[in-house]
Amino acid sequence: MTLRTNTIALIALFLMAGCGRPEGSGRIVIENKGSDTLVNVAQAWAEEYQTVNPNLAVAVTGGGSGTGIAALINGTVDIANASRQIKDSEMAQARANGQEPVEHVVGFDALAIFIHNDNPLDEISLTQLAEIYGEDGTFESWPQLNVEVPGCRDQEIIRVSRQNNSGTYAYFRGTVLGDGDFKLGSRDMHGSKDVVDLVHATACAIGYSGLAYANDEVKMPCVSDGTSCVTPSVEAAIDGSYPIARPLFMYTNGQPTGAVKEYLDWILSDVGQCIIKAKGYAPATTVTCDAPSA
């Protein structure tokens, strides 16, 4: 085969939508970018898949759901991770750019509310969250929630949020604030871990993030929708009883084929779904996991 024929074959392989991208070494690389909520499990999937197919590498980066979807629109990634659905405006941009995003649900997440471990608050309602975070909300201090927080000077509520390119930000706004917007003055963090770290370090703080980022250094009150107060958990995300549970998505350009299809099929297999469950998310399919898989 001539050098010219080899070059044409590589270009053709690169242009096949949803098939991955060839490396100089002959390996196929799947570019996977987006949601910080999903980045840890996406990395775990990528690492485990190397044992399944050593000739395929998955390059995972975060940056937020909006960043991943923008990259899909521009044709620079094979898979975009998102913790929210693609917007109508983004779909229109993609189609205008010759892309056709296809949605794949790969799991579910309980969006937890985090407070400092010394905070005596045990439960919070969606209405109270809107009063804290919403532009028309009136809650500025912890005594308005009938608690006094040790170590919190002036008892001021310090609101920790996410940057506006985050799917977590968009989902929280839509579910908790409805048609309203966020109140100005929050501490807007780049990643989910940053939210939890700041809440841990700040007695007055409250924040929200994916359940997978929970640890012993912060507290999670139960969340009430006006009927019952449910603690965030994988089980509550699966059965829908937790009021701020959401699907997690991967988007491809068109129906996936080749290496990308094989990878997504594996993610939705028992092995892949047991990995996401071990990372603290609810699986998209019914699986039985005998032992931790990550």
Query: Which residues is 38 bridged to in the sheet?
Result: none
Model confidence pLDDT, tens digit, residues 212-236: 899 999 999 999 998 899 999 999 9
The structure tokens 């068109």 sit at 254
What is the domain count for the chain? 2
Residues 153 and 237 in one domain: yes
The structure tokens 């919070």 sit at 124
Query: Which residues is 188 bridged to in the sheet?
Result: 161
Q: What is the mean pLDDT of residues 37-53?
A: 96
* CA 86 – CA 102 distance, rounded (Å): 10
Model confidence pLDDT, tens digit, residues 89-121: 999 999 999 999 999 999 999 999 999 999 999
- 11 has pLDDT over 70: no
The structure tokens 């395929």 sit at 56
Query: Which residues is 109 bridged to in the sheet?
Result: 246
* Contact call for residues 31 and 21 (beta carbons, < 8 A): yes
- CB neighbourhood size of 217 (10 A): 13
What pTM value is reported for the model?
Answer: 0.80
Model confidence pLDDT, tens digit, residues 239-252: 889 999 999 999 99
What is the β-pairing status of strands 56-63 and 28-34?
Answer: parallel
In a domain, 294, yes or no: no
Residues 89 and 128 in one domain: no
In a domain, 288, yes or no: no
Residues 130 and 218 in one domain: yes
Pull the structure tokens for residue 61: 């980066």
Model confidence pLDDT, tens digit, residues 252-277: 999 999 999 999 999 999 999 999 99
pLDDT at position 48, please?
97
Q: Which CATH number is 77's domain given? A: 3.40.190.10
Enclosing domain of residue 265: 3-108+247-283
* Contact call for residues 160 and 207 (beta carbons, < 8 A): yes
In a domain, 121, yes or no: yes
